């Protein structure tokens, strides 16, 4: 009798683990179990390696899913994937590529992209269909039309919905301070109120149409001339000065329920010497989380940028980012390497495993609460209705 009871318990645990792992993109919105309970059960069935994997958003330079990518998703369970131009070819191949990535993963994935408008819109690489060409955000900001910003956010989301993309690294809410700013026309402009209201409306359009908005680049990239892809930008302002300008759009985004904020690779000596914001506990935990009361997800800018790779080892980057309060690591060198190094840092006592558990809980909660399967027909891409909206900007 005891033997039968033990077998029954083991079978129940196994089936429970399987049930939660198969909560994938095809049915994630259909389960009636409370999110908190679903997340708790799933976390209990994840290994440490799999929990670390959920903190990674990976990239891959291919337009098809080969064995290497397939094995990385199966074995490492990355939390998300970021699409670049090299992943986007013709419609059928691109849709197949994304669908395969999502179907391989037992756990729902963030499928993310930089679709800002202007010079940064990856879908423009599509070869056989005309995707709407969205003007830069500076031009949109000049209209000072919140309704139009909402319509652009909605337009973006619906075209992303066609491919099953559920996260957009937009809006850019940096405030432009000079004509030589690295951000340039990617932002809504130099007026704080304009940046606030236009970004809020655009983000609302995205999220009401099933795409997570990612506000960037905290604590503000608008006054920098340097490109963090190649060197570390420095902002010589005090915290008080930042609160008067750069931080205002982020504060407003937080008050409006921002789900994800991206941290830039920017040094602010007045706060934390030459430590990049993306690796700074003083900027992420003390300023963003504690002083500004932000409880959503924190994601780094891409971890392959020279602003940090020229100054820190791969292991140091992971250790500093996680200890600073980061939840999602964008574009680690490889998922296997990141998991290995972060696990080593945990065993060495440099990273507290509780940081990992807290981040994974927030990541899974957002996925289970937000993801819905509402695909749009491909005919909406570059449609006349979308063109009419865009023409209101010009």
- Reference 215, options 150, 278, 260; nearest CA is 260
State the pLDDT at residue 143: 98
The two structure tokens encoding residue 269:
């000596």
Angstrom distance (rounded) from CA 300 to CA 55: 11
User: Where is pLDDT greater, at 34 or 156?
Assistant: 156
Residue 20 included in any domain: no
Please check the confidence at residue 214 and state whether its pLDDT lies above 60: yes
For the stretch 329-365, pLDDT in tens is 999 999 999 999 999 999 999 999 999 999 999 999 9
List of residues 6+ apart from 100 with CB closer than 8 A: 65, 70
Q: How does residue 230 score in pLDDT terms, banded at 50, 70 and 90?
A: confident
CB atoms within 10 A of CB 349: 8
% of the chain residues with pLDDT over 90 = 85
364 phi/psi in degrees, rounded to 5 = -70, -35
For the stretch 45-66, pLDDT in tens is 999 999 999 999 999 999 999 9
Residue 260 included in any domain: yes
% of the chain residues with pLDDT over 70 = 92
Peptide bond into 181 cis (omega under 30): no
Which residues participate in catalysis according to the annotation?
A: 229, 301
Residue 1 included in any domain: no
Ranges 14-18, 214-218, 244-248: which has the least confidence: 14-18
State the pLDDT at residue 13: 41
Residue 17 included in any domain: no
Angstrom distance (rounded) from CA 142 to CA 198: 10
Please check the confidence at residue 1 and state whether its pLDDT lies above 90: no
Please check the confidence at residue 87 and state whether its pLDDT lies above 60: yes
Please check the confidence at residue 27 and state whether its pLDDT lies above 80: no
Please check the confidence at residue 186 and state whether its pLDDT lies above 50: yes
Mean residue pLDDT of the chain comes to 91
Residue 64 included in any domain: yes
Residue 243 included in any domain: yes
Angstrom distance (rounded) from CA 258 to CA 103: 28
Residue 16 included in any domain: no
- Reference 194, options 180, 208, 164, 174; nearest CA is 174
Q: What CATH number is given to the structural domain containing 229?
A: 3.20.20.300
Please check the confidence at residue 278 and state whether its pLDDT lies above 60: yes
Please check the confidence at residue 104 and state whether its pLDDT lies above 50: yes
Total number of domains in the chain:
1
pTM: 0.92
Residue 33 included in any domain: no
For 111, the domain range is: 46-391
Which residues are bridge partners to 299 per DSSP?
Answer: 262, 328
């Amino acid at each position: 009798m005891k033997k039968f009871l033990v077998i029954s318990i083991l079978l129940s645990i196994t089936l429970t683990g399987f049930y939660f792992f198969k909560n994938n993109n095809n049915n994630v919105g259909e389960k009636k179990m409370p999110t908190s309970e679903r997340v708790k059960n799933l976390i209990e069935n994840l290994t440490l390696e799999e929990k670390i994997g959920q903190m990674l958003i990976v990239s891959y330079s291919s337009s098809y899913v080969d064995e290497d990518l397939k094995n990385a998703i199966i074995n490492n369970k990355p939390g998300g994937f970021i699409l670049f131009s090299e992943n986007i070819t013709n419609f059928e191949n691109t849709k197949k590529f994304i669908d395969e990535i999502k179907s391989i993963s037992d756990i729902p994935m963030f499928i993310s992209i930089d679709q800002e408008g202007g010079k940064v819109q990856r879908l423009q690489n599509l070869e056989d269909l005309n995707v709407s060409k969205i003007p830069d955000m500076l031009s949109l900001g000049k209209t000072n039309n919140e309704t139009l910003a909402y319509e652009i956010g909605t337009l973006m989301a619906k075209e992303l919905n066609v491919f099953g993309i559920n996260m957009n690294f937009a809006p850019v809410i940096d405030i432009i301070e000079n004509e030589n700013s690295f951000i340039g026309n990617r932002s809504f402009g130099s007026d704080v109120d304009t940046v606030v209201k236009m970004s809020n409306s655009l983000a609302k359009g995205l999220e009401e149409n099933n795409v997570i908005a990612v506000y960037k680049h905290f604590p503000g990239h608008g006054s920098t001339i340097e490109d963090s892809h190649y060197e570390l930008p420095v902002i010589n302002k005090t915290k008080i000065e930042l609160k008067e300008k750069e931080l205002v759009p982020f504060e407003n985004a937080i008050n409006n329920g921002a789900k994800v904020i991206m941290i830039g690779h920017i040094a602010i000596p007045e706060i934390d010497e030459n430590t990049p914001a993306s690796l700074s506990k003083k900027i992420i935990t003390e300023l963003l989380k504690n002083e500004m009361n932000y409880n959503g997800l924190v994601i780094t800018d891409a971890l392959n940028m020279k602003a940090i790779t020229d100054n820190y080892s791969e292991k140091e980057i992971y250790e500093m980012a996680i200890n600073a309060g980061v939840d999602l690591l964008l574009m680690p060198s490889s998922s296997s390497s990141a998991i290995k190094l972060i696990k080593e840092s945990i065993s060495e006592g440099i990273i507290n495993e509780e940081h990992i558990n807290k981040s994974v809980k927030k990541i899974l909660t957002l996925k289970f609460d937000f993801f819905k399967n509402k695909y749009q027909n491909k005919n909406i891409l570059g449609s006349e209705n979308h063109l009419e909206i865009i023409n209101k900007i010009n």
